[in-house]
Structure 1
Amino acid sequence: MKSVTITSIRPRSRSDATPAAPAAGGKFYTPYSFWFYLPTAVIYSVLFLVPTFASFYYSLTRWSLFESKFIGLDNFVLFFQEPALVKGFTNTLIFAVVTSGSKVVLGLLLAVLLTSRIVGRGYLRSVVFFPVLVSTIGVGLLFQVLMNPEQGLINGALGVIGIDGPGWLTDPKWALMSIALVDVWKGVGLATLIYIAGIVSIPREYMEAARVDGAGSWESFRRIVLPLSRPATVTVVILSLIGGLRSFELIWAMTRGGPGFTSDVISSVIYKQYQAGFYGLSTAGNVILFLVVTAIVLPLSWFLNRKEVNL
């Protein structure tokens, strides 16, 4: 057994303490004056807190650029009485669940593949991540052409093998799910990157010990990779869910919420209400979206982060 030499450690002085290091009395010491935090607090208040509270107020009014009239909860009552608005709310939840779930599963599988010893691993990582860098509007316009039911490349390729392709963006049964597939294609690269970072941070000793114990690839994945990549899973779930609930650009570029209201989400409904001049109603929609995202993401984040990994 190797001998270990223990050297004396000089106690750190107060001046050596790192930012937010614990000090005597349970207080936290920081070398920075609290005045350093003031610019950030001002910017955060101006860009986030003030607009948020203003939105809550204006959602209770019927307002224009020059005047406003307090009407209480009438905007919220009207929001849930309009079939198109309720449809947009339902579509938002469906879209968020489908896209976030698909990104988690595909991102994990691609990350396992791209951290294995395969030829061209670096190139394949670049290919998977490339759609993340492309403009969302550009992706929407591109797939609007590719999914054209008559002249689109996708239906043309299906026709070669004898399959009659559907109206991806014109059939009410397919429109929302078609956009969800495009959203997954564009966003799965980021999920894969997060999972790759989580997998490569797993100590190699765990994998070697599992191999010595006779564990196969599936056992190593199920008992080591999957539980130890839990922080990456939590990150992907939260980011994907927030993105799905707030999705707008891709849907607007591909279908503008159509045909009819079948692919409308809350964000596109809000935009249409703004265009029509119903500012109070659209502001109420913004508040509802904010509350929905908060009510879903905060409890989910707490639930996913409270469990510890046991090997």
Structure 2
Amino acid sequence: MNPIFKRTYSYLFLVPAAIIYFVIFILPTILSFFFSLTRWTLTEWEFIGLENFVTFFNEQSLSIGFKNTLIYAVVTSALKVVLGLLLGVLLTSKIRTKDYLRSVIFFPTLVSTIAVGIAFSMMMHPSQGIINTSLAAIGISGPDWLGDTRLALLSVALVDVWKGVGFATVIYIAGILSIPGEYYEALQIDGGNAWHKFWNIIVPLSRPATNSVIILAFIGGLRSFDLIWTMTKGGPGFTTDLIASIIYKQYQGGFYGLATAGNVILFLIVSALAFPLYTYLNRREVDL
């Protein structure tokens, strides 16, 4: 067999995957960067340079959308980490119904985000929703969850956490179950209690799971759109507008080049925030 062919033979198996990756990811990314510099429709385009980016950054709602996006990403990722860890600890304990509870907690992850948004929009209705109706039954006047400018973004974020915490829990269950039993035996010999087990063994040794949940939840929060749009459409006013919903509004208005520039900006923002965070978390993991 030819030595050169022998060395390259194994790489030939990567060619189909490389072609698919190029067509589905690399090519659309390149085209997005190009069309962000144009004014285009479905049939024609005109090169206008950086005009779309200048216009996008002059959008009145952009500063609100950027702030909301960061708040939404931080709140949802933080709650998924905390709740996912606690549920992971609970569902790896010796309770009898843990297998059933695992399926119940993971179930919301399988439900369509649009369906979840519609269901919770009805449940959070200020006068007819089941949440405020239940509160009224015990003498508590419930707020307008999606109409109050102070609560709307937090309300949607909590729904996002409800839907996504099952996935975080599964990651934590895998991380906790991978911890060697010798650590628990050593702790038992030293007279440690449940708190010591949690704080000194589970928390540090499940750090790879924590890093995965943080990265996935944070990127998901920065890119979130469908739940926000289903529940509030960015309202009331601009109080729940995220960068993704601002971009969608530009598409709705027929400003395709401007919306494409917004997508490029969102891509750069996610990359600028996610890659340093990923590097920092990995460095902490290695130091451990």
TM-score above 0.5, yes or no? yes
What is the match of residue 285 of structure 1?
262
- Please list every run of 5 or more consecutive structure 1 residues that lacks an aligned counterpart in the other structure: 1-28
Distance between the aligned counterparts of 1:109 and 1:182, measured in 2?
18
Q: Specify which of 263, 271, 275 is matched with residue 248 of structure 2.
A: 271
1:172 matched to 2:149? The reply is yes
What is the match of residue 55 of structure 1?
32
Q: Which moved more, 1:123-132 or 1:69-78?
A: 69-78
Q: Specify which of 114, 123, 134 is matched with residue 157 of structure 1.
A: 134
Distance between the aligned counterparts of 1:48 and 1:30, measured in 2?
28
What is the match of residue 100 of structure 2?
123
RMSD (Å) for aligned C-alpha atoms: 1.6
Aligned-pair distance for 1:235? Answer: 0.6
1:85 matched to 2:25? The reply is no
Kindly tell me: are residues 97 and 69 of structure 1, through their superposed partners in 2, closer, same or farther at Cα, counting changes over 3 Å? Answer: same
Aligned-pair distance for 1:155? Answer: 0.5
Residue deviations 1:247-273, cap 9 Å, x none?
111111111111122111111111111
> For the Cα contact (< 8 Å) 2:208–2:285, is it kept in 1?
no
What is the match of residue 236 of structure 1?
213
Q: Which has the higher contact order (CA 8 A, sep 6+)?
A: 2
Question: Is the helix fraction higher in 1 or 2?
Answer: 2
Give the TM-score normalised by structure 2: 0.94
Residue deviations 1:115-167, cap 9 Å, x none?
11123111111111111111111111100100000100000111122211111
Give the TM-score normalised by structure 1: 0.87
What is the match of residue 134 of structure 1?
111
Aligned-pair distance for 1:308? Answer: 4.2
Q: Which amino acid aligns with 1:35?
A: L
What is the match of residue 177 of structure 2?
200
Q: Percent identity?
A: 64
| Higher gyration radius (CA) | 1
Q: Which amino acid aligns with 2:219?
A: I
Q: Which moved more, 1:39-48 or 1:29-38?
A: 29-38
Distance between the aligned counterparts of 2:285 and 2:247, measured in 1?
40
1:183 matched to 2:160? The reply is yes
- Please list every run of 5 or more consecutive structure 2 residues that lacks an aligned counterpart in the other structure: 1-5
> For the Cα contact (< 8 Å) 1:195–1:232, is it kept in 2?
yes
Aligned length: 283
Distance between the aligned counterparts of 2:139 and 2:8, measured in 1?
71
